[in-house]
Amino acid sequence: MELSEAWLETILKRDVLERNVARVISVEKEDVVNKGDNYASDISRLKMDTVLGSGRMATKSLIMKRVPATELRAKYLGEWGLFKKEMKMYNSVLPMMEDLLKSVGYSGEVMWGRCLYTRPNDLLILEDMKDLGYKMANRREGLDLNHARLVMKSLGRYHALSATLKERGSLDIEDLRETLFSVHKDDMKQYLDQLMKVFADVIDTTWGDEWKVYVPKIKTLVGKCLESMNQLYSDKCDFQVLNHGDCWVNNMMFKYDENANAPSSIRFIDFQMSYYNSYAFDLTYFLTSSVRPEIRDEDYGPLLQEYHTSLTWHLKRFGYAGDNVPSLDDVKEEFKRKSLYALILAAMMLSIVFADPEDAPDMEELLKEFEKSNVAAVDPRPMMGKGYTRAAKSVISLCRRLGTFDGL
């Protein structure tokens, strides 16, 4: 029933921007993401032939995002509360952010797509960013400096929105505190311990002698990686925000002016892992997972400055009255304090970024094996390629400069 023309017609007519649709004639469903690009939901594009009120024919498309159809993926993702969290973001938090933007006279595009329909706990219908001229970057190439600047500026604005709403008492963070590392702790502990063991072994056997000094340091995390992660989350920062939580290249789309290589606009997607904590988590996640290695090799300071300038400017524009706005030195120090997160992400996220789609695991089968053996399997193959090695080495070098290994 939910893919019927009448059902989609009702959804379109309810939306203020689509009320010129008189009838949906046909609908075709196609997969949106490639194998290995998304494990947390099933995503499809609904392409529709429609008749407008004027009688003219028009093709429209929407994105349908739903709870995975397979048993164990649905079970674990339900227990992690990911879909419930994203429902709250689209139904409550993002509309409040949009209202705040309008209240200060902001007339530009928002940093997220519109949600046209939700069905509690299992279904979202979203506008198709592709129809609006947005496209994804190549995750394996990494983002250049122009893209990185736009992301950091946009994170500054996004974080300022959340901080202002929280200060005004509008943002309820009660169910926005949990992270993937604070739920299913036993499962996450096994996975992280095995991940860091495999990471250390890959460095030891494939990177060369000059990198072996880091192997025993990384191996000290085996057995206490989850504890160390949760310590980072509990190490309170004076200025906290609502983090996107999964801020990597596959969860952002860019639009470009004609004949321009630099992006003019960005939309963040996928708000399933949002949580309230230090702003440095989003910054670390993005700079570790999504920029080209040479950006990490060189001075990342200007990007932190881009973030800080945007954050403070927007806090002032939104009327934030708190006395805890971080200075640029505070931002740099907080980024340094969270650098262990970058080290763990080098193993966890970069192996996803550089994984060959042909080698992408069947998540349902992995979960079946885990439930049988209670042992988390980590495939070392994504850590063997040249792209991964170059990127991971740049993160290790960054962590060395930040003093991460001094505490291990």
Task: Yes or no: say if 268 and 242 are a contact pair by the CB < 8 Å rule.
Answer: no
Q: What is the pLDDT confidence band of residue 371, given thresholds at 50, 70 and 90?
A: low
Judge whether residue 18 has pLDDT over 90: no
Which pLDDT score is estimated for 367? 67
Place of tokens 């949580």: 275
Q: Where are the alpha helices (DSSP H) in 93-214?
A: 94-103, 145-167, 185-206
Judge whether residue 358 has pLDDT over 80: no
Least confident window among 16-25, 49-58, 329-338, 365-374: 365-374
CA angle 370, 373, 375 (to 5 degrees): 60
Number of residues assigned to the chain: 408
What one-character-per-residue DSSP string does 210-242 give? GGGGGHHHHHTTTTTHHHHHHHHHHS--SSEEE
Q: How far apart are CA 86 and CA 229, in angstroms?
A: 23
Q: Is the pTM of this model over 0.85?
A: yes
3-state secondary structure of 200: helix
Indicate the DSSP class of residue 26: E
pLDDT in tens, 113-122: 999 999 887 8
| Mean pLDDT computed over every residue of the chain | 90
Judge whether residue 342 has pLDDT over 90: yes
Please state, in angstroms and as integers, the Cα–Cα distance from residue 311 to each residue in 255, 304, 317, following that order. 22, 10, 10
Q: How far apart are CA 144 and CA 293, in angstroms?
A: 9
Q: What is the pLDDT confidence band of residue 182, given thresholds at 50, 70 and 90?
A: confident
User: Which amino acid, residue 182?
Assistant: S
- Nearest-CA neighbor of 245 among 233, 257, 258, 256? 233
Report which of residues 54 and 293 the model is more confident about. Answer: 293
Which pLDDT score is estimated for 193? 94
What is the average pLDDT across 186-211?
94
Which pLDDT score is estimated for 242? 98
pLDDT in tens, 61-90: 899 998 877 777 777 777 778 888 999 999
**Strand 275-278 and strand 263-268: pairing?**
unpaired
Which pLDDT score is estimated for 1? 42
Q: What is the pLDDT confidence band of residue 386, given thresholds at 50, 70 and 90?
A: very high
- What is the maximal distance between C-alpha atoms in the chain? 71
Judge whether residue 249 has pLDDT over 80: yes
Show the tokens assigned to 69.
Answer: 């159809």
Q: What is the pLDDT confidence band of residue 24, given thresholds at 50, 70 and 90?
A: confident
Percent of residues, the chain, with pLDDT higher than 70:
91
Torsion sign over Cα 293, 297, 302, 307: positive
Judge whether residue 180 has pLDDT over 70: yes
Q: How far apart are CA 53 and CA 41, in angstroms?
A: 34
CA 92 to chain centre: 19
CA angle 351, 275, 251 (to 5 degrees): 45
Q: How far apart are CA 22 and CA 43, in angstroms?
A: 26
Q: What is the pLDDT confidence band of residue 395, given thresholds at 50, 70 and 90?
A: very high
Judge whether residue 58 has pLDDT over 90: no
| 220 CB-contact burial (10 Å; exposed 0-12 / middle 13-18 / buried 19+) | middle
In this structure, the dihedral spanned by the alpha carbons of residues 261, 266, 271 and 274, taken in order and rounded to 10 degrees, is 100
Q: What is the pLDDT confidence band of residue 92, given thresholds at 50, 70 and 90?
A: very high
Domains of the chain: 5-66 (3.30.360), 76-407 (3.90.1200)
Q: How far apart are CA 162 and CA 93, in angstroms?
A: 9
Q: What is the pLDDT confidence band of residue 274, given thresholds at 50, 70 and 90?
A: very high
Show the tokens assigned to 238.
Answer: 């004076």
